[in-house]
Amino acid sequence: MTDEFTVYLVDDDPGVLKGLSRLLRARRYEVKAYSSPRVFLDEHDMAVPGCAVLDVSMPGLDGLEIQRVLTAASGYHRPVVFVTGKGDIPTSVRAMKAGAIDFLTKPVKDKDLFEAISHAEARDAESRQLHSEMKSIQAKVSNLTPREREVFTHVVAGRLNKQIAGDLGTVEKTIKVHRSRMMEKLGIRTVADLVRMAGKLNLSR
């Protein structure tokens, strides 16, 4: 499995599919072309960096539905570029609201397509980084004891050690120990970093 950025191309029209993949390959993109949305969903690997270029109207499953399925399958947003023969406004609004990178009308100009894909590439890298970051945070959080987790939420909520001790029915000293252990396990030095991490965690939830 390569980690090269891959363009997943889905269009039920074989001629269009062939033309677009040739164009993208000429630009040295790794392309995987599918004429059936179902096959695409079955074979699709979220771990591979890349973006999806979807035709909006296809028999069985249209582009917007694929986008929904992709998002629902994992927390990770696979960037999607739509191409359509009938660029009607309601459809494009729905697509963009669902987080699409762009909504291109056929025939697609190479410049627009490449621009959208490089945009998607950046977005993918970004979300991929976020994702890996998240993963390491989650791993660290999972190492905390239940008590340390409680202290974590209270600290993030801005409570003082004394207050936390009162809430949890213990003494301030004990809380201080939990707190320094928790910070150590998470590899964090300041409360500000802790709050930022909690924010990221919330985002992914």
Partner 1 sequence: MLLFLFGAESRAAEPRRVLMLHAFNYTFPATTLIADSARKRLLERSPQPLEIDADFLDLARNTDAEYESRIAMFLRTKYEKRPPDLVITLGSAALPFIVRHREAIAPNAPVVFTAVSAQSYGALQLPSNITGIISEFNLDKTLALAERLQPEASRLFVIAGSGEADRRWQSAARKTIEAHQRKFEVTYLFERSFANLVEEVSKIPRDSIVMLLTVFADSEGNAFVPAHVAGSLSAISPAPLYAPYDTYIGNGSVGGFVETFESVGVRAADMALQILAGKDPATIAPQTNPGQAYRVDHRAMARWKLQESKLPPDTAVLFKEPTIWSEHRGAVVGAILIVALQSLIVGALLVQRRRRLRAESLLKESEERMTFAAAAANIGLWQFDQHRNELWATEHCRAMFGIARDAPLTRDTFLSAVHPDDLQTATQALKRSLETEQPAISDVRIVLPGGEVRWIRMRARSYQEDNGESEQGGGIFIDVTDQKSAEAETALQRVEIEHLMRVSVLGELSGSIAHEINQPLTAILSNAQAALHLLAQNSPDLAEVRDALEDIVHEDNRAGEVIHRLRSLLKKGERKTEYVNINDLVRSTVSLLHSELIGRDISLRLDLDHAPFLTRGDSVQLQQVLLNLVMNAMDAMASTPIAQRSILISTSGPQAGMVDVLVRDRGHGIHPKANGRLFEPFYTTKNHGLGLGLTLCSTIIQAHQGRLTLVNDERGGAIAKFSLPVQQPTLHAA
Give the residues lining the site for partner 1 (CB under 8 A): 13, 15-16, 18-20, 22-23, 25-27, 57-59, 83, 85-86, 106-110
Q: Which helix (H) or strand (E) holds 160?
A: none
Please report, as a single letter, which amino acid is at residue 37: P
Least distance between partner 1 and beta carbon 89 (Å): 14
Q: Which is nearer to partner 1, 106 or 200 (CB)?
A: 106
Nearby residues of 14 by Cβ (< 8 Å), 6 or more positions away: 35
Least gap, CB of 5 to partner 1 (angstroms): 18
Closest by CA position to 108, among listed 49, 53, 50: 53
- What is the nearest approach in angstroms of partner 1 to the Cβ of residue 163? 57
Nearer residue to partner 1 within complex by CB, 6 or 21: 21
Residue 145 has a CB neighbour count (10 Å cut-off) of: 12
The smaller minimum CB distance to partner 1, of residues 18 and 200, is found at 18
In this structure, the number of other CB atoms found within 10 A of the CB of residue 14 comes to 10
Question: Cβ closer to partner 1: 106 or 128?
Answer: 106
Can you say how many angstroms the Cα of residue 64 is from the centroid of all Cα atoms in its chain?
17
The Cα–Cα gap between 50 and 83 comes to: 17
The Cβ-side half-sphere exposure at 157, using a 13 Å CA radius, reads 12
Residue closer to partner 1, measured from CB, 86 or 97: 86
At closest approach, how far in Å is the CB of 12 from partner 1? 8
CB of 153 to partner 1, least distance (A): 46
